[in-house]
Amino acid sequence: MYEGDVLAGNWRRPGKGKIPKVPAEPDLVVEDADSGFCGAVVACDKEAVTLEDRFGKRRLFPLAPAAFLLDGKPVTLVRPTATPSAALRRSASGSIAVEGLRARVARQSRIYVEGVHDAALVEKIWGHDLRVEGVVVEYLEGVDDLPAIVEEFGPEPGRRLGVLVDHLVPGSKESRIAAAITSPDVLVVGHPFIDIWQAVKPSVLRIPAWPDVPRGVPWKEGVIAALGWRMEPAQAWRRILGAVSTYTDLEPELLGRVEELIDFVTEAP
């Protein structure tokens, strides 16, 4: 509870008192003075700040003078000043960023993913790490022919293959295909999601959960219909991918598997 009415008396008018400027550091909890929306800072640029409330809902607010309340008192949020040592110190995956990176010559080892959406998401979050390590990611458009693809690749020490599979759960078609791969220089791992879309946390898209799609209905089209999105799957994917910025926007079931694959294909023979 605040003491008195903090909005009384037009505290924004000139001469009412100096309103302090506060850096919008991550996790700082403030309240928008006009709407009453209260949340923690999750992002800030030169024009706006994004707040996330305790339910995971996010809203964007302009960095206007005296637009927020901190501990019940008006403040002006400003973009944090990055020190030379702190600026760009971490990549989207959370790893230490390599300044002035020149991509390493590609290794013979590879990572295969099922589709173009999987490849785009891996590139967005782990692209920096992959260029540091010289690892190329390719997509397969499905894993039905995975045993033949592995044989054609010709894995051996120093030429390893890592494969990321969607919906790799006990009893699934994908699990039976993965079980047929026995080479010690191939690692097949997967996540439990029907599609890579589900690896994005619902809160990032401001939805309560990924909808259940009835059997017999194409999954992507069913999701789009259930969410009321009037767009094609390609447009929906651009919307989903555009909402993702760091590893914290993804489910841990995917994060661990991708990190495992990178470690596997870069391990010294």
Lowest mean pLDDT among 84-93, 163-172, 182-191: 84-93
Give the torsion sign (CA, 59, 128, 247, 110): positive
pLDDT reading at 87 higher than 50: no
Determine the Cα–Cα distance for residues 78 and 88; give it in Å rounded to an integer.
19
pLDDT recorded at residue 16: 52
List, in order of start, the domains of the chain with CATH numbers: 21-78 (2.30.30), 110-200+244-266 (3.40.50)
Give the rounded percent of residues in the chain with a pLDDT score beyond 70.
88
| pLDDT tens digits, one per residue of 124-171 | 999 988 988 899 999 888 888 999 999 999 999 999 999 999 988 888
Yes or no: say if 164 and 112 are a contact pair by the CB < 8 Å rule.
Answer: yes
Cross-strand bridge partners of residue 139: 113
Query: Which string of DSSP letters, residue by residue, matches 46-75?
Result: SSEEEEE-TTS-EEEEE--TT-EEETTEEE
pLDDT recorded at residue 60: 87
Greater model confidence, 221 or 71: 221
pLDDT recorded at residue 15: 47
pLDDT recorded at residue 1: 46
Out of 140-149, 215-224, 260-269, give the one with best mean pLDDT. Answer: 215-224
Span 169-184, mean pLDDT?
91
pLDDT recorded at residue 11: 46
Mean of pLDDT over the chain: 86
Query: pLDDT-derived band of residue 112, with 50, 70 and 90 as boundaries?
Result: very high
C-alpha distance from residue 161 to each of 120, 123, 142, 156, 164 (Å): 19, 17, 16, 9, 10
pLDDT reading at 7 higher than 70: no
pLDDT recorded at residue 236: 95
Span 226-233, mean pLDDT?
94
